[in-house]
């Protein structure tokens, strides 16, 4: 006789548990949520610590501690490598990826690979990669932060959702840059041929002016050039306000929608509790009526028994 059970195999359960633990999504299970928060916060702090260590290493006074930085980096690479392998192991639970190749080529995994693989290659095959390349690739560690920050994820989602509007705003900015660069080129090419020798060179001036930075290395001297500069600066303030207002309004709407969802959920829960309270009061009333009726029936029964007993007694 064979016994069938619905229990999952240990291997599948462990794989699913690792997948849930590595995700930056809230869980209903308190134990899973605690472990998940600990791992996410630990990796978040480790990434920040690696970025800070990379910055401090460039300070000359910290050169005597070079060996400690190297040990810390190797320990971090081991931890990042384990996390990367665990994510590869749990890829079947990522529903949006069709196969392992599409999962490996996802932006998150590509950033992780750029951080880990060059150092592993250099470890097994020394001097095959330029040391400067390895130092430059360290900066990709900071891009891993968005996996552990819901706020950064919201900003990315909002940007992707409004990409068409943002592209239109960017196109408007580029139109302003090219128009200003062309006008300033024809206004200043005779007065300053060494600075405004071509439209591409004037584009540098236009970008700096529209962004209201104004380094001062390109300064118009003609009256027409100065008028163009004034108009370009004013235009720059208006142009750069477009994407800022779009993202700001979208982010505010996202926050308000989340708050509205929470308020609606609390309202529904309150209505449900009120319904349960009314229902319990109705049931209590019915129960009291039943108890009262039972008591009356018991009294009537006791009277009948007493009457029969007296009748039987006096009859004798």
Give tens-digit pLDDT for 160-202: 887 888 888 888 888 888 999 999 999 988 888 888 888 888 8
Check whether residue 194 and residue 121 sit in a common domain: no
CA 143 to CA 115: how far, in whole Å? 10
Is 272 in a helix, a strand, or coil?
Answer: helix
Domain boundary among 148, 179, 209: 148
What is residue 310's predicted lDDT score, i.e. its pLDDT?
Answer: 67
Residues 239-274 pLDDT 10s: 777 787 887 887 777 777 766 667 767 777 777 787
Mention every residue, 6+ apart, whose C-beta is less than 8 A from residue 199. 181, 182, 185
Check whether residue 265 and residue 221 sit in a common domain: yes
Residues 79-103 pLDDT 10s: 888 888 888 888 888 777 788 888 8
- Domain ranges, residue 87: 10-148
Check whether residue 195 and residue 263 sit in a common domain: yes
Check whether residue 223 and residue 267 sit in a common domain: yes
How high does pLDDT run on average in the chain?
77
Check whether residue 139 and residue 19 sit in a common domain: yes
Check whether residue 38 and residue 96 sit in a common domain: yes
- For residue 298, tell me if it sits in a domain: no
The pTM of this model reads: 0.53
Check whether residue 91 and residue 175 sit in a common domain: no
Check whether residue 176 and residue 134 sit in a common domain: no
- For residue 192, tell me if it sits in a domain: yes
Check whether residue 124 and residue 171 sit in a common domain: no
- For residue 299, tell me if it sits in a domain: no
- For residue 178, tell me if it sits in a domain: yes
Check whether residue 143 and residue 185 sit in a common domain: no
pLDDT score of 78 more than 80 = yes
The b/e string for 98-122 (b: 16+ C-beta within 10 A; e otherwise) is eeeeebbeeeebebbebbbebbeeb
CA 230 to CA 222: how far, in whole Å? 12
Domain boundary among 148, 182, 202: 148
- For residue 169, tell me if it sits in a domain: yes
Check whether residue 143 and residue 168 sit in a common domain: no
What is residue 146's predicted lDDT score, i.e. its pLDDT?
Answer: 62
CATH number for the domain that contains residue 74:
1.20.120.350
pLDDT score of 137 more than 70 = no
Domain boundary among 85, 114, 148: 148
Percent of the residues in the chain that have a pLDDT greater than 90, as a whole number? 2
- For residue 282, tell me if it sits in a domain: no
- For residue 306, tell me if it sits in a domain: no
- For residue 233, tell me if it sits in a domain: yes
Whose tokens are 């990826």? That residue is 97
Identify whether the C-beta of residue 187 lies closer than 8 Å to the C-beta of residue 224: yes
Check whether residue 15 and residue 144 sit in a common domain: yes
More confident residue, 33 or 192: 192
Number of domains in the chain: 2
């Amino acid at each position: 006789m064979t016994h069938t059970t619905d229990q999952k195999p240990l291997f599948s359960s462990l794989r699913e548990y690792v997948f849930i633990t590595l995700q930056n999504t809230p869980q209903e299970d308190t134990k899973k949520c605690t472990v998940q928060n600990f791992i996410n916060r630990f990796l978040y702090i480790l990434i920040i610590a690696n970025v800070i260590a990379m910055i401090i290493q460039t300070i000359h006074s910290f050169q005597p501690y070079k060996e400690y930085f190297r040990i810390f980096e190797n320990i971090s690479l081991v931890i990042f490598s384990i996390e990367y392998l665990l994510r590869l192991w749990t890829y079947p639970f990522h529903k949006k990826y069709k196969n392992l190749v599409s999962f490996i080529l996802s932006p998150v995994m590509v950033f992780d690979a750029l951080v880990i693989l060059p150092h592993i290659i250099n470890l097994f095959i020394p001097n095959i990669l330029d040391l400067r390349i390895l130092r430059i690739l360290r900066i990709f560690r900071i891009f891993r932060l968005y996996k552990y920050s819901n706020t950064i994820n919201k900003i990315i989602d909002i940007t992707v959702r409004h990409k068409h509007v943002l592209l239109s705003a960017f196109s408007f900015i580029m139109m302003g840059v090219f128009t200003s660069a062309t006008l300033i080129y024809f206004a200043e090419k005779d007065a300053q041929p060494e600075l405004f020798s071509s439209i591409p060179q004037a584009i540098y001036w236009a970008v700096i002016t529209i962004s209201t930075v104004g380094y001062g290395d390109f300064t118009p001297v003609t009256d027409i050039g100065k008028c163009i500069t004034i108009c370009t600066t004013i235009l720059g303030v208006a142009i750069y306000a477009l994407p800022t207002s779009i993202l700001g309004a979208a982010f505010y709407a996202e926050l308000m929608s989340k708050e509205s969802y929470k308020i609606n959920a609390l309202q529904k829960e309150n209505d449900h509790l009120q319904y349960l309270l009314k229902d319990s009061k109705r049931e209590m009333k019915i129960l009291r009526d039943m108890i009262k009726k039972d008591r009356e029936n018991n009294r009537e029964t006791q009277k009948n028994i007493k009457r029969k007993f007296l009748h039987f007694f006096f009859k004798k």
